[in-house]
Amino acid sequence: MSAVAIFGAGSWGTALALLLAGKGVPVRLWGRDPAQMAAMQATRENGRYLPGYHFPDALTATADLVSTLEGADCVVMAVPSHGFRQVFRQLVPGLRDGLPVVSVVKGIENDSACTMTQVMREESAGKALALCVLSGPSFAEEVARGLPTAVTVACANRDKAGWVQRLFSAPRFRVYSSLDVTGLEISGAMKNVIAIASGIADGLGYGLNTRAALITRGLVEITRLGTALGADSRTFAGLSGLGDLVLTCTGHLSRNRTVGLKLGSGKTLEQALAEMTMVAEGVKTTLSCAQLAGKVRVEMPILEQVRAVLYEDRPCTEAAAELFQRALKEEV
């Protein structure tokens, strides 16, 4: 039985730990707060981020980074993008060649504009790791509840992608495989930005027509950026693209849509974030995606308006008007 080390004890890392441990896979779940991890191990649940879901016997919670990694056959990185590099750098000395390392983080690093696999490649230079990405429409709470969910895992090595696919597959958790690592990472990051826009529209009281337009044109922007960076355009019509975009733009459990709702209802970004306990990756990722779009010279008007609302205090109504007053053009 393969042993799995999961770094990042937020809701998503915990949900995946519950999924694997529920299959009998030995899982060690790491978090940076010793007191919180000790409480999780004692109470056998993540009372802060995913309360009410009992830890199976195969799941151990710990704040000891070294012991978490020891003997692991697979490493899962669930640390938010702004802390990802720091944690991964500490793991590198203990990583062996060929080890599957799976990023489940839907964000892009600020400043460097690196995806998470690019961060790992930089930090582990000289090691032949099997870098993977797992993404798709998957709210953590629904996975923890055992509700049917389908996702995709991508790796440049087809055999490793298949191995991780089999590791995570469960009766109600279907995993597809892919070779398009870039496509999964760009769609996973950008869908959060579009979800903020969707939340803003809902907060302003706009209708379902508006939401459908944002999802559709948002997918166009995601595809433009992804293909400019070398992704397969077909990826964006799949689970990690359209599937995750629809979920995040419409679901009440979406953190990024929630941020948008608060902004659209008149709250400042600081007020919106202060009312949330979990990280909304789209807030920081908006800057990274805008930087990437500038590098490859891709037009992304929705992304640009979200950036202006978040970081230039542009009124939400003004941003919406700007999108609809742009010059007319053909759709394709």
Task: For 284-323, write each residue's pLDDT tens digit.
Answer: 999 999 999 999 999 999 999 999 999 999 999 999 999 9
Per-residue pLDDT tens digits for 17-68: 999 999 999 999 999 999 999 999 999 999 999 999 999 999 999 999 999 9
Mean pLDDT of the chain: 96
Helices marked H in 157-311 — which ranges?
A: 158-168, 181-203, 208-228, 244-250, 255-264, 269-274, 281-296, 301-311
* Strand, helix or coil for residue 316: helix
pLDDT of residue 126: 84
**Contact between residue 137 and residue 222 where contact means Cβ atoms under 8 Å apart:** no
Q: Which CATH architecture has domain 4-179?
A: 3-Layer(aba) Sandwich (3.40)
> Residue for token digits 């000289």?
126
Q: What is the DSSP letter of 189?
A: H
Structure tokens at 230: 């070398």
Interaxial angle between packed helices 301-311 and 281-296, expressed in degrees from 0 to 180 and rounded to the nearest 10? 130
Residue 28 burial class via C-beta count within 10 angstroms: exposed 0-12, middle 13-18, buried 19 and up: buried
Q: Which region, left, alpha or beta, applies to residue 36 given φ > 0 means left and ψ of -120 to 50 means alpha? A: alpha
Q: Domain ranges in the chain?
A: 4-179, 182-324
Domain 182-324 indexed as CATH 1.10.1040.10: yes
Per-residue pLDDT tens digits for 188-213: 999 999 999 999 999 999 999 999 99
Question: Which residues are known to be catalytic?
Answer: 191
Per-residue pLDDT tens digits for 68-101: 999 999 999 999 999 999 999 999 999 999 999 9
pLDDT of residue 1: 67
Rounded CA gap, 40 and 219, in Å? 39
Rounded CA gap, 119 and 151, in Å? 23
pTM above 0.85, yes or no: yes
